[in-house]
Amino acid sequence: MVTTFKGYAALNKGEKLQSWQYEPKPLGRNDIEIKVTHNGLCHTDLHMRDDDWNVSTFPLVAGHEVVGEITKLGEDVTNLQIGDRVGVGWISNSCRRCDACLRGEENICRQGYTGLIVGNYGGFADKLRVNADFTYKLPDALDSASAAPLLCAGITVYSPLRTYIKHPGSRVGVIGIGGLGHLAIKFARSMGAEVTAFSTSPSKETEAKEFGAHHFCNWNDAETGDYDLLLYTGSAEIDWTKALGLLGNDGVFCLVGLPVSTLNIPLLALVFGQKKIAGSAVGGRRFMTEMLEFAAINQIKPMVETMPITQINEAMDKVAANQARYRIVLLSE
């Protein structure tokens, strides 16, 4: 008997998603099958639909902030059980042998990791098959709708904050208050940092402070500062003279997005201030496990809007128009 999954696929590049049935890959010895209940919607799903990075294969079933319940176990899976509530994020496999993988930093695997929806079907479906080692059992204190966005947006900001916040009282600036930025404010505050939210929308001040920011600053008015870490979550081009002027000596400016493909940096401020410009993308198994635990203990939850998965195209339009406040979670029927 042929197994059939029911999903939502872009049949061709840039097309709206439509109902689509497909035969999943066979359940491997180390795989699990989950019944999907929730999907966080990430901007990357739109990039994949539109093949912006030339890695998409069609029909494309996107979805990489997946929460569900285990319904099948591969014969070698011993650490999970049928019925477990689990989450799956962007990384679905890696070499497991390089120094980075052995540290649990599969996001910088020297062989390159496998992206969940690169050459494989993702979470916008009734079921998902995935390697058990990149599946995370969710703490009871995290509800599924809150957990979903943590699996990509959450880990994306947690990794650099965890890496670069060295001590309580560190001065951290979060630039851009959206899906990533609002979570960054919450995590940085819980890690003991003194947090400033930067935005070009003054109307976000009240919310930023509710998320935990001590200070709010209009990016257009920002001049100089003494920040230990500036986390850039925006998509607009960066004024590097301003950025480096805000950064204190020995500070780190970290990008978690790709506003442009090249940088034009004033080197005098960089070199004499011993400043650093860094990049960061998602996170490995070590920080993923830790982040979920940290979020559960500190009750760090994204602000989400839920929509039924039948409205997936409307949800994608909303994300494209920057109207999600601050993350959309799609509920399965």
Q: Which residues bind Zn ion (CB under 5 A)?
A: 42, 44, 94-95, 98, 101, 109, 152
Are the C-beta atoms of residues 149 and 302 closer than 8 Å to each other? yes
Least distance from C-beta 104 to Zn ion, angstroms? 11
Cβ-based nearer residue to Zn ion, 152 or 256: 152
Cβ-based nearer residue to Zn ion, 110 or 166: 110
Least distance from C-beta 1 to Zn ion, angstroms? 34
Cβ-based nearer residue to Zn ion, 42 or 296: 42
Cβ-based nearer residue to Zn ion, 152 or 324: 152
Grouping H, G, I as helix, E, B as strand and the rest as coil, residue 221 is helix
Please name which of 257, 207, 211 lies closest in space to residue 231, comparing C-alpha atoms: 257
Cβ-based nearer residue to Zn ion, 31 or 45: 45
Which string of DSSP letters, residue by residue, matches 184-215?
A: HHHHHHHTT-EEEEEES-GGGHHHHHHHT-SE
The sign of the CA dihedral 301, 152, 163, 268 is negative
Cβ-based nearer residue to Zn ion, 98 or 278: 98
Least distance from C-beta 228 to Zn ion, angstroms? 27
Which string of DSSP letters, residue by residue, matches 132-198?
A: GGGEEEPPTTS-HHHHHHIIIIIHHHHHHHHHH--STT-EEEEE--SHHHHHHHHHHHHTT-EEEEE
* The two three-digit tokens of residue 38, written as one number: 């929730």
Least distance from C-beta 151 to Zn ion, angstroms? 8
CA distance 89 to 151: 5
* The two three-digit tokens of residue 13, written as one number: 């590049």
Least distance from C-beta 199 to Zn ion, angstroms? 21
